[in-house]
Structure 1
Amino acid sequence: MSDVASIEALAGDVAEWRREIHRHPGVAFDVGPTASLVAGKLRAFGLDEVIEGVGRTGVVGVLRGRRAGTRTVALRADMDALPIHEQTNLGHASREAGKMHACGHDGHTAMLLGAAKHLSDARDFAGTAVFLFQPAEETSEGALAMIEDGLFERVPVDAVYGLHSLPGLPVGHFATRPGPVMASVDRFEIRIEARGAHAAMPHQGVDAVYVASQVVVALQSIVSRNLDPLEPAVVTVGAIQAGDAFNVLPDTARLLGTARALTAASRDTIERRLREVAEGVARLNGARAQVTYDRISPATVNHPAEAAIAARVAEGIAGPGNADPAMAPLMIGEDFARFLEKKPGAFAFIGNGDTAGLHHPAYDFDDRAIPAGIRYWVGLVEEA
């Protein structure tokens, strides 16, 4: 049986693993059932090492090929779900209230398990394959937790690769690019301190709602006037909280938002100007602004050589024209970026077809993508 045929034959089992994972989601580091399933299967596959509890609840599997070789390549899948009420009404829908796999992590984990099973059956590759199953991707904490827990000292690797489902891309197609492929993710809070008054006598106070509104408008000048127009960036205010009465000017307002950038220089400029703009607009209106700016995760930046390998492997699976090697970068974030700060590597996308979007309560991973995903992981081990 050829490799393609054997992977196709394995895909049904992998789909069942995926649905079992989907039924029992866990968020952040609380991924016990999934981590236990992963560790149990890796041991059953006969891997050389299975390490649990890396970065609190991460699982690492090590498999050595039977051919001579010294390179070690790591493949990463994320295990955590989201705090979302599922609305798919599928037979394998989440049985955990308020939790669901709305970002494809169940599919990522199952495909990587499938690759581990396939590779372990023959070990027909050189060097060592390392399988990283990471918790807490959605909170941007898991990759760093694994690194700080000594991941790369305990299991040294030469390169690391990631793969993510992408709605809108045809099933089984791939996309990647060298350089920035996803944006940095930052969170900010701006607290406006003004002076309350009766709504009918605004001259006796300083209107925190008006000041907050001016700040929201002024923040849009950062991207349009302070950054290179050829470098994508986003500054979004997602929430404004102020007051609780129709006839009172509140003395405080709170703005919550996010900033995204593809380069470190743009990220630095956004943080600096956000503080300057918020504080300046508030002061101009007789109020005060307190800014809290938290950097969540850096931009996901693919290394050129590894991105070329990823694109070559993907095209060999999907066929010419079905594996975009120069996709436009996305302004969403990924804490896989932490791994790429430590090791060369690349992140790619696999198509999920015309489905609900990521983080949508009606999203479900398309099991038809499983054979292509397994072949991609296997191809990376053989190629890299």
Structure 2
Amino acid sequence: MTDPTEHAALWSALERHLPAALDLRRRLHRRPDLSGDEAATRDLVLAALPGSGGAVKAAETGAVLRIGGPGPAIGVRGEMDALPVAEDTGVPWASDRPGAMHACGHDTHLAALVAVAGALAETGPPVPLLAVLQPREETYPSGARDITTSGVLESERCAAMVGVHVQPLLARGEVACTAGGVNGSSDEFEIVVRGRPGHAAYPHLTNDALLALSEVVVALQSVVSRSVDPMAPAVVGVSSFTAGSAANVIAGTARATGTVRALASSTRELMHRRITEVAESVARAHACTASVTFTHGEPVLDNDAVLAGSIARELDRRGLSVSRNLRSLGSDDFSYFCELVPSTMLFVGTGTSEPLHSSRFLPDDADVRALAAALMAAYLGAVAVVRDRAGAVASG
């Protein structure tokens, strides 16, 4: 457990660094960078971080910066990319880039990270902090995946990773700190059914791919309800369907795409298998063939139970409202960090009616302050875990 005196100094320093962080948030919001083009955002954030000359570039447009001395470090993730959304907030510091907007709160996450990093640099971090400026959270290929496979976290001795995300589904200021699976895996699939095309007046001479795929789509609705444990959250959804080119021609090929999500890796694997079996079997019943292709996205975001428990205690000490039960089948590539080191992502409530990715979604200054407080608590919770584990290794 960290020293209460150490706590007081850090929290006081955080208050001093918040005004500059709020100003940075407005500058970031005004000039958003889309996924894969975050170099300018990276440089703006690095300029606001202490000791930015020691930054190591990562994942093309990202960077990793150590704050503190040698030894095991605690990674703090900040996503940098904006969304291809036309802003409709009307604030003076709205996006000046047509068709681009920080509609998912990444500008606020970065501001919170800068405030925490500044406070730690001022007081001296009890455990080194590793600021991870991550590109491409919103698109593939995932920036988090690229960082975790690059070896930079191992070379910087990252012992744990924490992050925060705004969440309008929570009351303002409420912080969700949930152990275990909190976000689902997210994969896409494409099903192509091939039959025999022909004249619509002679259906008996054809093998109707459109009809076969229609039956496949209906049959897929039972994959979750009849193949998955009712206590295991999962989603299979078909989102697009294309077939045919003329009213009097029976289609020889039909194509559908969709998403499959799960909150457990075993459920993810089960649904991939069942989607393939259903598509192939139903198509065969219509004298057609089906091929199924999966595009693997983010794995399950699995918060480390020990780390989440330690962070929740820090949140309680700070008097923050804590929820331990928020889970969803949304996805976030923070999950790749969870596969590499003990990690926990928190969700901080904005209590707004506008959802994430809306052209009117706009967290305010109070939300940035709440994010910074949650992130500082997450860092301190991780400090306790890293120290305990280091002590256990030394005594062993």
Alignment of 1:338-349 (within 5 A): 338-349=336-347
Quote the Cα distance in structure 2 between the aligned partners of 1:228 and 1:98: 42
The 1:245/1:318 distance shift into structure 2, 3 A limit, reads farther
Give the corresponding residue for 2:223: 222
> Quick check: 1:132 aligned with 2:132?
yes
Quote the Cα distance in structure 2 between the aligned partners of 1:52 and 1:81: 22
Do the aligned residues in 2 keep the contact of 1:165 with 1:349 (CA within 8 Å)? Answer: yes
Quote the Cα distance in structure 2 between the aligned partners of 1:112 and 1:299: 24
For 1:34, give the aligned amino acid. Answer: T
Quote the Cα distance in structure 2 between the aligned partners of 1:26 and 1:245: 42
More displaced stretch, 215-224 vs 2-11: 2-11
For 1:350, give the aligned amino acid. Answer: V
- Structure 2 SS opposite 1:214: helix
Residue 284 of structure 1, CA deviation: 0.5
Q: Any idea what the Cα deviations from partners look like across 1:313-361, whole Å, max 9, x if unmatched?
A: 2333453xx2112x14210111111111110121110112213111222
Residue 375 of structure 1, CA deviation: 2.0
Alignment of 1:268-307 (within 5 A): 268-307=269-308
> Quick check: 1:62 aligned with 2:62?
no
Quote the Cα distance in structure 2 between the aligned partners of 1:365 and 1:50: 31
Any stretches of 5+ residues in structure 2 without a counterpart? 1-7, 384-396
The 1:96/1:318 distance shift into structure 2, 3 A limit, reads farther
Quote the Cα distance in structure 2 between the aligned partners of 1:75 and 1:382: 12
TM-score by length of 1: 0.91
Give the corresponding residue for 2:34: 27
- Structure 2 SS opposite 1:364: coil
Identity %: 35
For 1:128, give the aligned amino acid. Answer: P
Residue 276 of structure 1, CA deviation: 0.7
Give the corresponding residue for 1:104: 105
> Quick check: 1:50 aligned with 2:54?
yes
The 1:375/1:181 distance shift into structure 2, 3 A limit, reads same
Quote the Cα distance in structure 2 between the aligned partners of 1:317 and 1:203: 73
Do the aligned residues in 1 keep the contact of 2:311 with 2:380 (CA within 8 Å)? Answer: no
For 2:129, give the aligned amino acid. Answer: A
> Quick check: 1:41 aligned with 2:40?
no
Do the aligned residues in 2 keep the contact of 1:317 with 1:372 (CA within 8 Å)? Answer: no
Q: Any idea what the Cα deviations from partners look like across 1:270-316, whole Å, max 9, x if unmatched?
A: 11111110011111011111111121111000111101122222333
Give the corresponding residue for 1:209: 210
TM-score by length of 2: 0.88
For 1:138, give the aligned amino acid. Answer: E
- Structure 2 SS opposite 1:152: helix
- Structure 1 SS opposite 2:158: coil
More displaced stretch, 139-148 vs 179-188: 139-148
Cα RMSD (Å) of the superposition?
A: 2.1
Give the corresponding residue for 1:236: 237
Residue 6 of structure 1, CA deviation: 5.1
Residue 8 of structure 1, CA deviation: 4.1
Q: How many residues align?
A: 374
Quote the Cα distance in structure 1 between the aligned partners of 2:310 and 2:261: 27
Quote the Cα distance in structure 2 between the aligned partners of 1:26 and 1:354: 24
Do the aligned residues in 1 keep the contact of 2:185 with 2:301 (CA within 8 Å)? Answer: yes
Quote the Cα distance in structure 1 between the aligned partners of 2:305 and 2:175: 17
> Quick check: 1:323 aligned with 2:330?
no
Do the aligned residues in 1 keep the contact of 2:164 with 2:374 (CA within 8 Å)? Answer: no
The 1:243/1:97 distance shift into structure 2, 3 A limit, reads farther
Do the aligned residues in 2 keep the contact of 1:189 with 1:256 (CA within 8 Å)? Answer: yes
Quote the Cα distance in structure 2 between the aligned partners of 1:6 and 1:176: 24
Do the aligned residues in 1 keep the contact of 2:241 with 2:254 (CA within 8 Å)? Answer: yes
Give the corresponding residue for 2:310: 309
Quote the Cα distance in structure 2 between the aligned partners of 1:359 and 1:241: 27
More displaced stretch, 241-250 vs 278-287: 241-250
For 2:303, give the aligned amino acid. Answer: N
- Structure 2 SS opposite 1:97: coil
Any stretches of 5+ residues in structure 1 without a counterpart? none
The 1:246/1:23 distance shift into structure 2, 3 A limit, reads farther
> Quick check: 1:11 aligned with 2:18?
yes
Do the aligned residues in 1 keep the contact of 2:14 with 2:118 (CA within 8 Å)? Answer: no
For 2:57, give the aligned amino acid. Answer: G
Quote the Cα distance in structure 2 between the aligned partners of 1:218 and 1:150: 43
